[in-house]
Structure 1
């Protein structure tokens, strides 16, 4: 593994920053303390900053040896927010705020980019500019979208933008990246079936919305199995059904909620249309009314081919070609998708291991639960800090040291 020695030498100090951020998690658009810490460190290292994009976002500006006169620029992004959940770990840097936790590793993402920033500040051996994007509100707030709305790409014009997420279960020392869709769109639905309530002993006197809702949910299964092309990924998950207040009362209404995930808008359009037709048609068949709401949240995360291949070459130079893996698409969602709609780039995975790293803390200090994303036992693996920072540095240096082809594919609709 070819790590940058000065980054290794500074890894212990950056690890302490990571654990400090982990102990003080902040939710969407509330990342004031985290943003203050990031801004303070960038300022300490002589990196000019801009604050306020997307409410709490921070952008660091690092000019190379030419003072940025070449006009070349690259963007590197890390997310800063935590999740609204309670941590079960008991090590020293566990969350100090009940109900808030860094269960997705954004503390580690921030630390890796800070480690790269420190190296950039000390070794400006590149021509052009590196923009360090510390983004708020990835966990449902659309912080990437809000930073773009506030002028991220107009104030800081860049040729391409890159993101990275830790991935539990992959052996430490490996990366994964692929062209095309790598994470899914995230969408929510809420369907209300309104019938006619009454006494549970006299069902013929009313219109029971509960069995109608059950028919609707069953009907959704045929959308995936009979309407969608089998080769096109798509998931409909009904996660909530709410109705009734008493066992002897047929309720007036039943509410169905859940999510839809797809890799393409074509599949999403099909699923939304058929869900509406099934819901309204089944309700009408039983004499009930239907209110159908469908909200499109994050778009699919789609890597442009040239940039994904470029990242793979950089990874191979660090960990070897055999550890620069193909990225298996996941139906999880990521708001870096908004940046990839606006700019060419790639979103990769860096392996976080199986969770054994938690046993190395003094006295143990963690439960035996799984170390998977969005799990109360999760913790970022600090071994990744020098590896991830090395990747960021070498990616930026390589990108700014070559001229990408003008005719390479640009972002398009998935």
Structure 2
């Protein structure tokens, strides 16, 4: 094991023991700031709440490239058995943000020691990725005005891909996440006399089925769209037809236009079915995460840099996009850049658990690999 690998492992284990959820990353931010200062990197804190920026300028180059890591944990009780298991009940690094943070710290360490680039490297440590609010909080707090950025790069570990491999694609890489709430108001009554009611449960059933025509009949055939009704609530009882039904759900797509189409058609479908049945409704549709849409040039840059570090055979530059969401997309709406997966699977089912599993643990063996890919990106995008 290299000295760098051993150091990065120890850093990650310290963060893993003390997970902090969205906008509470005070201890984590302090840890990051301390390590950056030890490297001689200029540090700025409190951006977007608990966000941290490290800035390393070398030479006279005018271009600035950022490497982003997310810092927050998830509200889940850890059930693993590692010596560095979470000491915070109900909180754990079950998505690997501890590993992401350390990976960017590792890149900062490599670059601060080698200083073999010309320009400015930004090490961006973001709070609150899980609820999709951290990137926007940093942007709202003047991130790009204070630290103009020409390109930005990020990565997420993927325990379903072989360790030490990179997956990336041009265009839509991670979907947006939109949430909806549909409240249907009918007229309740005794279950024995449905003719005297306006049954919102039957209407809700019609709505739930009809919403599935949006991906199948409203979206283009090759436009990935997912509409999922995930929760149903009523104010009825086993012998009482309810007066009100609430449907909650989640929608996914890869473009703003698709999200707007879903919202428009959903409202039209609900309105039409409710009118046909004599019911009224309330409708709320919110855009939680922007889609993560990779820029072509930065994708090619990731493919080259990862190929140089890992080997060209370890890089898939035309992978399938995925339907989960990542708030890195908010940065890509403002700045050219790219987001990629770094594989972490070791081929052991007992270890290769999915993200957000209560026993998930980041594969420490990929920490140095990720750091070296990021450092190589800086060198190639800011050549001497």
TM over 0.5: yes
Q: Which of 325, 328, 339 is equivalent to 2:331?
A: 339
Q: Corresponding residue for 2:299?
A: 308
The structural deviation recorded for 1:355 is: 6.4
Q: CA deviation at 1:313?
A: 0.8
CA contact 2:229–2:249 (8 Å) conserved in 1: yes
CA contact (8 A) 1:22 1:94 kept: yes
Match of 2:341 in 1: 349
Show structure 2 runs of 5+ residues with no match. none
Q: Separation in 1 of the partners of 2:342 and 2:85?
A: 23
Q: Please report how far the alpha carbon of residue 369 of structure 1 lies from its aligned counterpart in structure 2 after TM superposition.
A: 7.7
Tell me if structure 2 keeps the 8 A contact 1:303–1:345. Answer: yes
Task: Please give the root-mean-square deviation of Cα atoms over the aligned residues, in Å.
Answer: 1.6
Q: Any conservation in 2 of the 1:327–1:348 contact (CA below 8 Å)?
A: no
Q: Which runs of 5+ in 1 are unaligned?
A: 359-367, 403-414
How far off its partner does 1:202 sit? 2.0
Aligned to 1:155: 146
SS at match of 2:285: strand
Q: Any idea what SS the aligned residue of 1:169 has?
A: strand
Shift of residue 141 of structure 1? Answer: 3.9
Following the alignment from structure 2 to structure 1, what is the Cα–Cα distance between the partners of residues 347 and 188? 51
CA contact (8 A) 1:168 1:372 kept: yes
Cα offsets for 1:259-299 (capped at 9, x unmatched): 00001222222211111111111111111111111001111
State the SS of the aligned residue for 2:282.
Answer: strand
More strand by share: 2
Q: Distance in 2 between matches of 1:316 and 1:122?
A: 23
> Is the Cα contact below 8 Å between 2:22 and 2:73 reproduced in 1?
yes
- 4+ residue segments displaced more than 3 Å: none
Local SS of the residue matching 2:272:
helix
**TM-score, length-scaled by structure 1:** 0.89
1:327 aligns with 2:333: no
Matches within 5 A, 1:72-91: 72-91=63-82
Matched-pair contact (CA < 8 Å) for 1:216–1:279: yes
Matched ranges for 1:286-301 at <5 A: 286-301=277-292
CA distance in 2 between partners of 1:232 and 1:31 (Å) = 37
Cα shift readout 1:349-371 (whole Å, capped 9, x = no counterpart): 10011563x9xxxxxxxxx4861
Of 7, 22, 25 in structure 2, the residue corresponding to residue 13 of structure 1 is 7
Contact 2:170 2:295 in 1 (8 A): yes
Contact conserved, 2:295 with 2:338, CA < 8 A, in 1? yes
Task: Name the counterpart of 1:25.
Answer: 19
Structure 2 SS opposite 1:95 = coil
2:50 to 53, 56, 71: 56
How many residue pairs end up in the alignment? Answer: 383
Q: How does 1:221-370 map to 2 (within 5 A)?
A: 221-325=212-316, 326-354=318-346, 356=348, 368=350
TM normalised by structure 2 equals 0.96
Three-state SS of the structure 1 residue aligned to 2:245 is strand
Contact residue 132 and residue 326 of structure 2 kept, 8 A: no
Question: SS of the residue aligned with 1:229?
Answer: coil
Cα distance in 1 between the residues matched to 2:347 and 2:133: 29
2:383 to 376, 401, 407: 401
Residue 209 of structure 1 pairs with residue 203 of structure 2 = no
Contact 1:189 1:257 in 2 (8 A): yes
1:375 matched to 2:348 = no
Contact kept, 8 Å, 1:167 with 1:353, in 2: the verdict is yes
Decide whether the 8 Å contact of 2:160 with 2:352 is kept in 1.
no
* Alpha-carbon distance change, 310 to 237 in structure 1, aligned in 2, over 3 angstroms: same
Within 2, Cα distance between the matches of 1:354 and 1:249?
Answer: 54
CA distance in 1 between counterparts of 2:181 and 2:123 reads 38
